[in-house]
Amino acid sequence: MSDNTAAMSTTKERRGLTRPQMAWRAAQDIFDGAYVNLGIGIPEMVARFVPEGREVIYHTENGVLGFGPPPEPGEEVPELINAGKKPITLNPGASFFHHADSFAMIRGGHIDICILGALQVGDNGDLANWSTGAKDAVPAVGGAMDLVAGVRRVYVIADHVTSRGEPKFLHRCTYPLTGAGVIQRIYSNLAVLDITPEGFLLRETAPGVTVEELRELTDAPLAVAEDLKTIEAPSLS
Amino acid sequence: MSDNTAAMSTTKERRGLTRPQMAWRAAQDIFDGAYVNLGIGIPEMVARFVPEGREVIYHTENGVLGFGPPPEPGEEVPELINAGKKPITLNPGASFFHHADSFAMIRGGHIDICILGALQVGDNGDLANWSTGAKDAVPAVGGAMDLVAGVRRVYVIADHVTSRGEPKFLHRCTYPLTGAGVIQRIYSNLAVLDITPEGFLLRETAPGVTVEELRELTDAPLAVAEDLKTIEAPSLS
Amino acid sequence: MIDKRVASAAEAVADIGDGATVMIGGFGEAGSPIELIHALIDQGATDLTVINNNTGNGQVGLAALIAAGRVRRMICSFPRGTSETAFPDLYRRSRIELELVPQGTLAERIRAGGAGIPAFFTATSAGTPLAAGKEHRVFDEREYVMERCLTADFALVKAERGDRLGNLVYNKAARNFGPIMCMAAATAIVQVSETVEAGALDPEHIVTPGIFVKRVLQVETPQLESALIAQGATYP
Amino acid sequence: MIDKRVASAAEAVADIGDGATVMIGGFGEAGSPIELIHALIDQGATDLTVINNNTGNGQVGLAALIAAGRVRRMICSFPRGTSETAFPDLYRRSRIELELVPQGTLAERIRAGGAGIPAFFTATSAGTPLAAGKEHRVFDEREYVMERCLTADFALVKAERGDRLGNLVYNKAARNFGPIMCMAAATAIVQVSETVEAGALDPEHIVTPGIFVKRVLQVETPQLESALIAQGATYP
């Protein structure tokens, strides 16, 4: 459970993709048979948009593998919750296990994909998503550090800039790190960026967003893929 | 599983207690409610002689807690075996678990008493029971090192001298160690010895065995308890 | 005959002394042993070190124990709860200490404590402020942090069913920290909704073998934090 | 749809290459995946590193794999079996390497491999020849030995029931090394006596969640070493 309040910032002046569209775009990269851990917030939405025909097994670090969508109202079971403490259901073939076994799945590299929110991502793959380093804040980290250290593919879903217009994707994070060199891909409202040994590589842009704009809103050099694409997301809000 | 072939040496010229009597004597020290792991050979016999009214839970390192006596002939189940690979039964309240959990019980100090055989015991509590260091032997250790390192009270049942008449209890072991400073008590055919910070302390003698004889058959100084007792074992063979 | 059952919550927690380290099970309200925690509040022990993933919810259970000023130090991964203000208030006033531990490292440290492993290495937190001051080490070209095990004098845990020997099964995701806390505490105290005869639990299905459990208390209809919070309940 | 079931033992082990590290479950005959081992003998992979508690029994299963000269190196705690001479013969002729590991350290190294723990400390073997050359360290006035994790390219495991997702339950003490070997191997291959529908295994009772398993082979009536040895069977 990570503190991604920044990712939940106000929607005013947002451009590009809606949040469901960001989740939709991330969902296209989840392959059939993947074991997936989704962070709290927008990442949770990803499960809704995985293309039909792909079977995905969801893991939640509090000790459930193979959970399904939220229950119907009135069907909630207090002992059947996810890491965000929200009610879940079970798919056939689900299992329960204790916390050490659950994090053995994470730390041991058994989860294929983790998607979470971010305060900042460095072009070296560093992630900051648990603390702004504010002196008066009560620090809280949850399982974010374990997830980014242990999962094979760690992706970020986050707005490209903060509600105050500051770039979230930058050469080096200024906030305390969650993990060093852990992020492979970013899904923002404006673009899909890969982190490569040479830094950010722009793969896809949201409709109407130019490379020049993205260079302005990204605080690090931005290479552009030869086959740069436009994200064609369905209408979702 | 430890190699205690030495403890199985021929009985000719043995004096003092029979092997069942040695096991009987050890059994008197197993307290009500104890979690106990018994090594292969004579230690296994101990379970037969625990005084009535004491409930003892037996652990076997291959992953069973709460097993009972051997099954009737014909009732053996290939998947229900102990660390010696011999068939067992289950008592009500038994449980199965995997090897790492089983040794967590051992290493984590959750087993109260372990009783095993010995090639040698030093008066500093060192135990040698897995190898004579012979060059041509195939070394094999099993769970003995884990047991002696992890269990709270580790007791030895072994003849006082080898079949060639050599003392097994000595100042320092000459064979490769199973563990250093791990033994608290020895039940031999001739005596009960405690290991104290000052070395061997003679607590009890078998009927007809004198302190002088024991000093001769023990290759280390032997202090004598003020309340030295004679073992009064039932007739068992 | 071994019989680990105790008659009352007060009896179950009677010997928890001032200064004790107490692991408390649960993740959110799932698995939270509210009745045992309330008995601990009644009992009066103070200056406690408490290990739990969070810091409780509302003004009941762990949050109430903290609010009552009984906890000197929290070891947890996420010191925030639902409608819970006791911890942040005390923390900002430096009236409670916090050791912040990544959730998986917390779980593994507890498991190590139960398994007799004094220390282990993990990549979790390497390169972050939470690894500051810890020993680092490279294995196979990757950097790891050395973490020490966690043990406790007592664990308070909630399970679903138990027998006189202390064998336990849990209820869904309420299993969470229960099994490993039972392993890591010298005295694991468990409240169960139902006690059953020894032998009634299938040996293949037992999650916590009785060897890890010292006391079993039946609480037939345990309270739920969410219900208590909805009622605006406070404890004591 | 995820379907980890494979049609034959030959298919299950087809991609095990020369030089692979293979964990093989079982303690004595309980849990020994004989059909998978025999398929591996047929398949021909050689120069293997094998991790198992023992070295097989009789002239079938693991003992036959060793006798066939396919194993370059054994990592085990007790390289002795029933009516088994392949390992000692090869060992005395320096035709097979042996890494002797205390049984609990072996189990914990495997578990660590599955849990992403590169190294840990244990008191087991401290002060003995098996700790020679290993890093020692004192924690709280007691001496410990640092042990590295064990991982494998493949695991061959026998369980009782499994589903298309790889969820498993075991049979009594045949559970032994199965769950941790499934965790520690890149490709865990499991033979089960029965395959069942996803959802047929109670989520509370699953011992190995499917995430740790890559292939499931149904072998309805698996052979038992003791019966084969009684028949004087040899393989191939």
Higher-confidence position of D95 and B9: D95
Strand-pair partners of B179: B127
D148 contacts on C by Cβ (under 8 Å): 139
Helices (H), B194-236: 211-217
Count Cβ–Cβ pairs < 8 Å, chain A vs chain D: 65
Q: Do residues D50 and D87 make contact, with C-beta atoms less than 8 angstroms apart?
A: no
User: Model confidence at D179, in pLDDT bands (50, 70, 90)?
Assistant: very high
**pLDDT value at position B136?**
83
Q: Do residues B101 and C213 make contact, with C-beta atoms less than 8 angstroms apart?
A: no
Confidence check: pLDDT of A3 > 70: no
Strand segments (E) across A10-88: 35-38, 57-60, 64-68
At D109, which amino acid appears? R
Strand-pair partners of A229: A204
A213 is catalytic: no
At C35, which amino acid appears? E
What part of D 157-176 touches C (C-beta under 8 Å)?
Answer: 169-170, 172
Strand-pair partners of C155: C23, C188
> Measured between alpha carbons, how far is D122 from D49 in angstroms, rounded to an integer?
24
Reduced to 3 states, what is the DSSP secondary structure of residue C91?
Answer: helix
Question: At B194, phi and psi to the nearest 5?
Answer: -100, 150
Q: Do residues D103 and B104 make contact, with C-beta atoms less than 8 angstroms apart?
A: no
> Measured between alpha carbons, how far is D115 from D123 in angstroms, rounded to an integer?
20
Average pLDDT score over residue span A172-178: 98
Tokens found for residue C140: 């196979």
Tokens found for residue A103: 């994090």
> B touches which chains (3+ CB pairs under 8 A)?
C, D
Place of tokens 């494979």: D6
Confidence check: pLDDT of B208 > 90: yes
**pLDDT value at position A89?**
98
Confidence check: pLDDT of A181 > 60: yes
Confidence check: pLDDT of A43 > 80: yes
> Measured between alpha carbons, how far is D187 from D152 in angstroms, rounded to an integer?
8
Nearest CA in chain A to D196: A93
Q: Do residues C102 and A146 make contact, with C-beta atoms less than 8 angstroms apart?
A: yes
> C touches which chains (3+ CB pairs under 8 A)?
A, B, D
Rg, C-alpha atoms of chain C: 18
D115 contacts on A by Cβ (under 8 Å): 100, 103-104, 107-108
Place of tokens 């073997």: D125
Confidence check: pLDDT of B10 > 80: no
Contact D114 A103 (CB under 8 A): no
> Measured between alpha carbons, how far is D106 from B146 in angstroms, rounded to an integer?
10
Q: What interhelical angle do B99-107 and C103-115 show, nearest 10?
A: 70
CA proximity to B144, closest of B174, B118, B123: B118
**pLDDT value at position C83?**
84
Helices (H), chain C: 9-12, 34-43, 61-67, 86-92, 103-115, 178-184, 225-230
Confidence check: pLDDT of D234 > 50: yes
At B174, which amino acid appears? T
Question: What one-character-per-residue DSSP string does D182-207 give?
Answer: HHHEEEEEEEEEEEE-TT-S-TTT-S
Nearest CA in chain B to C149: B108
Q: Report domain extents, chain C.
A: 18-117+150-230
Q: Do residues B127 and B151 make contact, with C-beta atoms less than 8 angstroms apart?
A: no
| Residues 6+ positions from C148 with CB-CB distance below 8 Å | C109, C118, C119, D139
> Measured between alpha carbons, how far is D204 from D195 in angstroms, rounded to an integer?
18
Work out the minimum CA distance from A151 to partner chain D, whole angstroms. 10
Strand segments (E) across chain D: 5-6, 21-24, 48-51, 71-76, 97-100, 119-122, 136-139, 142-148, 152-163, 168-169, 185-196, 215-218
> Measured between alpha carbons, how far is A149 from A185 in angstroms, rounded to an integer?
15
Reduced to 3 states, what is the DSSP secondary structure of residue B38?
Answer: strand
D127 touches chain A (CB under 8 A): no
Confidence check: pLDDT of A7 > 50: no
At B66, which amino acid appears? G
What part of B 89-128 touches D (C-beta under 8 Å)?
Answer: 96-100, 102-103, 106-107, 126
Measured CA to CA in angstroms, residue D8 lies from D119, D191, D215, D217 at distances of 37, 10, 11, 7
> Measured between alpha carbons, how far is B101 from B96 in angstroms, rounded to an integer?
10
The minimal CB distance from D173 to the residues B62, B103, B131 is found for B62
Higher-confidence position of B136 and A144: A144
- D touches A, CB cut-off 8 Å, minimum 3 pairs: yes
Contact A108 D199 (CB under 8 A): no
> Measured between alpha carbons, how far is B151 from B22 in angstroms, rounded to an integer?
21
ipTM for the assembly: 0.96
Quick: pLDDT tens for C181-202. 999 999 999 999 999 999 999 9
C108 touches chain A (CB under 8 A): yes
Q: Do residues C190 and B76 make contact, with C-beta atoms less than 8 angstroms apart?
A: no
Q: What interhelical angle do D103-115 and A99-107 show, nearest 10?
A: 70
What part of A 7-36 touches D (C-beta under 8 Å)?
Answer: 32-33, 35
What part of C 156-195 touches A (C-beta under 8 Å)?
Answer: 170-180
**pLDDT value at position D100?**
98
Q: Do residues D82 and D57 make contact, with C-beta atoms less than 8 angstroms apart?
A: yes
Q: What average pLDDT does chain D have?
A: 97
Place of tokens 């960026």: A193
Helices (H), D101-234: 103-115, 178-184, 225-230
Quick: pLDDT tens for D7-32. 999 999 999 999 999 999 999 899 99
The helix (run of H) or strand (run of E) holding residue A203 is strand A199-205
Confidence check: pLDDT of A214 > 70: yes
CA proximity to C22, closest of C40, C38, C42: C40
Q: What average pLDDT does chain C have?
A: 97
| Residues 6+ positions from D231 with CB-CB distance below 8 Å | none
Confidence check: pLDDT of A30 > 60: yes
Q: Do residues B116 and B2 make contact, with C-beta atoms less than 8 angstroms apart?
A: yes
Go through the domains of chain B in sequence order and give each one's CATH number. Answer: 3-230 (3.40.1080.10)
**pLDDT value at position B13?**
63
> A touches which chains (3+ CB pairs under 8 A)?
C, D
C-alpha angle A212/A218/A223, rounded to 5°? 65
Q: Which residues of D159-190 are buried (b: 16+ CB within 10 A; e: fewer)?
A: bbbbbbbbbbbbbbbbbbbbbbbbbbbebbbb
CA proximity to B62, closest of B43, B37, B41, B33: B37
DSSP state of A138: -
Work out the minimum CA distance from D149 to partner chain C, whole angstroms. 10
Contact B95 C2 (CB under 8 A): no
Contact D87 B138 (CB under 8 A): yes
Q: Do residues D158 and D189 make contact, with C-beta atoms less than 8 angstroms apart?
A: no
Q: What average pLDDT does chain A have?
A: 94
Count Cβ–Cβ pairs < 8 Å, chain A vs chain C: 146
- Of all residues in chain B, the percent with pLDDT exceeding 90 is 91
> Measured between alpha carbons, how far is A18 from B227 in angstroms, rounded to an integer?
86
Cβ burial of B208 (10 Å; 0-12, 13-18, 19+) is exposed
> Measured between alpha carbons, how far is B167 from A175 in angstroms, rounded to an integer?
68
Q: What average pLDDT does chain B have?
A: 94
The helix (run of H) or strand (run of E) holding residue C148 is strand C142-148
**pLDDT value at position D51?**
98
Confidence check: pLDDT of B237 > 90: no
Q: Do residues C103 and C176 make contact, with C-beta atoms less than 8 angstroms apart?
A: no
> Measured between alpha carbons, how far is C167 from B107 in angstroms, rounded to an integer?
20
User: Model confidence at A208, in pLDDT bands (50, 70, 90)?
Assistant: very high
At A198, which amino acid appears? E
Reduced to 3 states, what is the DSSP secondary structure of residue B108?
Answer: coil
Quick: pLDDT tens for C89-128. 999 999 999 999 999 999 999 999 999 999 999 999 999 9
Tokens found for residue D196: 């069942």
C88 contacts on A by Cβ (under 8 Å): 138
Measured CA to CA in angstroms, residue C140 lies from D99, D116, D149 at distances of 20, 13, 12
Work out the minimum CA distance from A149 to partner chain D, whole angstroms. 10
> Measured between alpha carbons, how far is A78 from C171 in angstroms, rounded to an integer?
10
The minimal CB distance from A95 to the residues D183, D197, D209 is found for D209
Question: What one-character-per-residue DSSP string does C55-79 give?
Answer: --STBSHHHHHHHTT-EEEEEES--
Quick: pLDDT tens for D115-130. 999 999 999 999 999 9
Quick: pLDDT tens for B110-169. 999 999 999 999 999 999 999 998 888 899 999 999 999 999 999 999 999 999 999 999
**pLDDT value at position D85?**
87
Tokens found for residue A172: 């080096």
Q: Is C18-117+150-230 assigned to CATH 3.40.1080.10?
A: yes
**pLDDT value at position A118?**
98
Contact D108 B107 (CB under 8 A): yes
Confidence check: pLDDT of B6 > 80: no
CA proximity to A63, closest of A105, A91, A4: A105
**pLDDT value at position A13?**
63
Kindly report whether the global pTM for this prediction surpasses the value 0.90. Answer: yes
Q: What interhelical angle do B99-107 and D103-115 show, nearest 10?
A: 120
B136 contacts on D by Cβ (under 8 Å): 92
How are beta strands D215-218 and D185-196 bridged, if at all? parallel
Tokens found for residue B233: 């074992």
CA proximity to D63, closest of D192, D172, D227, D225: D225
How are beta strands B64-68 and B89-96 bridged, if at all? antiparallel
CA proximity to C40, closest of C182, C186, C216, C235: C235
Average pLDDT score over residue span B50-54: 97
**pLDDT value at position D45?**
98
